[in-house]
Amino acid sequence: MSKVVVFGSMNMDLSIACDRVPQVGETLEGFGFICNPGGKGANQAVASSRLGAPTVMIAAVGNDSFGSGLLKGLCDSRVDCARVRSLSDTTTGVAVIVRTHGDNRIILDPGANHALTFDDVEPIMRDVLEPDDVFVCQLECDLAATYSAIRLAHELGARVIFNPAPARVFPDDLWECIDLLCLNETECEIITGILPSDDDSCRNALKVLKERGASEAVLTLGFSGSAALHGGDLLRKAPLAIEAVDSTGAGDTYIGAFAVALLEGKDLEGCMDFATKASAYTCLSAGAQQAIAWRSDLDAWDAPEPRIP
């Protein structure tokens, strides 16, 4: 049976809400503190597993209480964590998140996420990754290991979903290895020089991404939905009309859901529809992984109509 294999980060998210972002040297009273398992890779793995795909995680954590908590969270979400390493010479990655009115700002200490080299990752990938699996990765782990993992996944016949976050320009030879490039507005502007703020700029940015070699590219645009090119035409998906509580895990949920839909044989538009619904559900609760829906809950959710632009 085809599966999702995620090589990525695992962080403990320390998240707090406040009415506004503090100024330099200012202390504000916050509320709603959450200590919640996170990390882009772990979030994407939890999303794909909870939404119905067999999911394998390749990652590292520190041999500490945060690492134990992260592993428990993934195992409780039925992610296969047998290849996750627990390291005694480094700490687990930590993300500090400030939430303001449904938006968020994040500071990251990568810790063990940068510990795995490609020499560590390659034998695991050759053991578990099969043709037609979906391989998902981001840029919160060691860059050289990540780039080499993308090349190997392509060589092994897997479908590669690459989320270039945190954003940076990556090697030219990677483009031909990417089946789906999924990135937000900020990442798009850094990589293409175009901020996708309207239909024309979205279309131009997506053309650049596809001209560089990505088979498909999807822009996630927050409260403006998502966009892709379909047969040369711009395909826009409006966000659902929800009252967002916390958008922390929405982008990662979108990617994990897209991977599930791809495994299920949905076309580009069908994948975007499913990912849009799943990411909207995540915004209804605070936190990252704890807010991600199980497939039965998502299927039962009477989702609102798309928001009118």
Q: What are the pLDDT digits (tens) for 108-130? A: 899 999 999 999 999 999 999 99
* Residue 33 backbone dihedrals phi, psi, to 5 degrees: -65, 135
Q: What are the pLDDT digits (tens) for 67-79? A: 999 999 999 999 9
24: in domain: no
What number of helices (H) and strands (E) belong to the chain?
9, 14
What range does the domain containing 210 cover? 4-9+38-92+111-300
23: in domain: no
* Domain total in the chain: 1
Q: Which helix (H) or strand (E) holds 299?
A: helix 295-300
Is residue 187 pLDDT above 80, yes or no? Answer: yes
Token output for 34: 């959450």
Is 200 a catalytic site residue? no
The closest alpha carbon to 44, from 6, 82, 12, 75, belongs to: 6
Catalytic residue among 233, 252, 297, 299: 252
Tell me how far apart the alpha carbons of residues 171 and 124 are, in angstroms, rounded to a whole number.
Answer: 23
pLDDT in the model for residue 222: 86
Tell me how far apart the alpha carbons of residues 58 and 126 are, in angstroms, rounded to a whole number.
Answer: 12
- Give the other-Cβ count within 10 Å of 215's Cβ: 14
Q: Is 145 helix (H, G, I), strand (E, B) or coil?
A: helix
- Residues forming a β-bridge with 85: 60
**Residue in the structure block whose two tokens are 């010479």:** 89
Confidence of residue 309 (pLDDT cuts 50, 70, 90): low
How large is the average pLDDT for residues 63-89?
A: 96
Token output for 58: 């390749």
CATH number of the domain bearing residue 241: 3.40.1190.20
199: in domain: yes
22: in domain: no
27: in domain: no
Q: What pTM was computed for the model?
A: 0.91
75: in domain: yes
Confidence of residue 34 (pLDDT cuts 50, 70, 90): confident
